Amino acid sequence: QAQLHESGPGLLKPSETLSLTCALSGAPISNYYWSWIRQSPGKGLEWIGCVYYSGNTKYNPSLKSRMTISIDSSKNALSLKLRSVTAADMAIYFCARGTGDDTNGWYDYWGRGTLVTVSS
């Protein structure tokens, strides 16, 4: 079974850069895509973006200008960088494994999530 574990700083100041890592284990990273999904307090799930094993990425247009998602197959790690954070970026950030192809996909494994707080 795949296991995913997010890590990163829990507290940031406005305008700083959020850097999160998701350690992947228990299953090969090839043949899947890997996503970041966040959830603001009391809200629904928001799809942030994904990276395929090939390195190709897709981003939520509302965040695209501030965001970079990458995967390091040698380290079995997924990463997220979100620049110039504001209070609107406060959320629980999940990494998840996507199963499917370019036309359809679902998330069969999730990390436990990591809470990110933005405060001066």
Residue type (1 letter), 71: I
Running DSSP on this structure, what letter comes out for residue 33? E
Which of 30, 65, 106, 120 binds another protein (CB under 8 A)? It is 106
Binding residues for another protein restricted to 23-82, rule: CB under 8 A: 35, 37, 43-47, 49-50, 58-61
Provide the minimum distance between the beta carbon of 110 and another protein in the complex, in angstroms, as a whole number: 4
Q: Interface with another protein includes 2 (CB under 8 A)?
A: no
Rounded-to-integer distance, Cα 37 and Cα 106, Å: 12
In the bound state with another protein, the residue whose beta carbon lies nearer, of 16 and 58, is 58
Contacts of 15 (CB under 8 A, 6+ apart): 84, 85, 86
R_g of the chain computed on alpha carbons: 14
With DSSP H G I counted as helix, E B as strand and the rest as coil, what are the percentages for the chain, rounded to 5? 5, 55, 40
Q: Interface with another protein includes 117 (CB under 8 A)?
A: no
Rounded-to-integer distance, Cα 57 and Cα 71, Å: 10
In the bound state with another protein, the residue whose beta carbon lies nearer, of 52 and 83, is 52
By CB under 8 A, the count of residues binding another protein is 26
Q: Interface with another protein includes 110 (CB under 8 A)?
A: yes
List residues binding another protein (CB under 8 A): 35, 37, 43-47, 49-50, 58-61, 94, 100, 102-108, 110-113
